[in-house]
Chain A
Amino acid sequence: MIGREESDAVRHALITRHGPFVLSLLAGMALWEIVGRNSSPAFLVPLSATMVRLWQLLIGGTLVAQTLNSAALFATGFLLSLLVGMPAGLLLARVGVLRVAVEPYIMILYATPMVALIPFILSLMGFGFVPKVLVVFLFGVFPILYNTVEGARSIKPEMIEVARSFRSGEWALWRDVMLPYTLPFTMTGIRLAIGRCLVGMVAAEFFLSSNGLGQLIMSASQNFDTGGLFAAILVICLIGVGLMRLGLALENRFARWRQ
């Protein structure tokens, strides 16, 4: 008896929690289908046609190949921005003079729309993988750098003094005080960087050597293959949502340390 009541309660909770979500998803899909069927296929194709096109791209292997291409670019650029941004941020936090000296320039670069640099990167480095990685890197490094510095500079001086008075070496100080203390802040930067790197990835694929999902979108739009265009946008949408979830999960995982 109790078991059934409990399972009823669970089911009820599931329905009230996920019911509206599922309903709104279904409503959105229906709306897309209806509007799509009643408009010119050059502008909007219904969900069903998009799915068919997505299936074709999937079967043909294009989608998988291009997604892997994009993933390689994203991963390289993002890891590079993490590997540069985090240590540099900690270094700036540790060496006060350096931080004070370069802080305004980091602020400026953080606020600069990096897409505007793409034409210069193109004319200087041409087509290829390296300039594209540079674009993704430029999009991602400043949020990480900025937030790491922000975090590291909020370390209480007493903490470092205590560590010092226990004869902690420089390496131990970084490993046991600075890194754990700044990690939650860095995670905020990482979440922001994930979103920005994704933008950088697509922009690099649009304007530098064309391949990956960006190329899929570009060629679909140039060939008036609206179904392919929607299919590619849908895939990027799913990747974006997935990565955002990941970023939020990481941030929340470490946020507990933050005071």
Chain B
Amino acid sequence: MSDLAIVLRVARKDLLQELRSRATTVATLFFSATTLVLMAFALGRDEGVLSQSAPGVLWVAVVFAGVIAAAQSIQADMEEGAFEQLLTYPVPRATIYLGKLLANWLYLSVLALLLAPTALTFYGARVTGVDAYLILAATLLLGALGFAVIATFYAALTSNLQAREALLPVLMFPIIVPILLAAVRATESVVASGAGSALTGVGPTVDLALAGDWVLLLAGFDLVYLVVCTALFHFVVED
């Protein structure tokens, strides 16, 4: 069996489990919706502030939901010694990591693609033009990939620790800052706010060229993190 086939097998297994249990889906959707609503209350009634905050709030919701998804992905495996069993199979450790990463990425991508229109509409921001939509879609997919790369790695790293729920975000949030920054800036650059801020009187400017640059930077971060995490995963799962 080729390494690619093993990756697909592991990903299929993770997705099948989630489709049946829906444990992560329910938790992340509820958490994301709560984040969007709470942030709207926290930011106040200024329509300009709300619309300008939409990209940041969207990615905060994705990041928080992603922590839950990655942790749940590993915990589902830890039940009844299944993850330990998985590690006794004669397959490269990297294929296990990439399989779990693929499943987490697909899940987070769907979540981000669902959250984006919801968050932008809820906060009064809008995207106009095919190019802007394409760049936004690329941003969501690449942002979800970068986040899944790190979340999958750290979820495995903390899986045997007692305080894993607390440690996972503490360890990974500092690492995801470059991904988060690039994703938010790229999203900001394709989103037009519905109104100017009451404070400044102006909204952010749509700049597709700038958005493209941020997307390229995001892809670069993804590649670096992917290579490093894949290479190091072997050490993470060795006792």
A binds B: no
Interface residue ranges, B against A (CB under 8 Å):
none
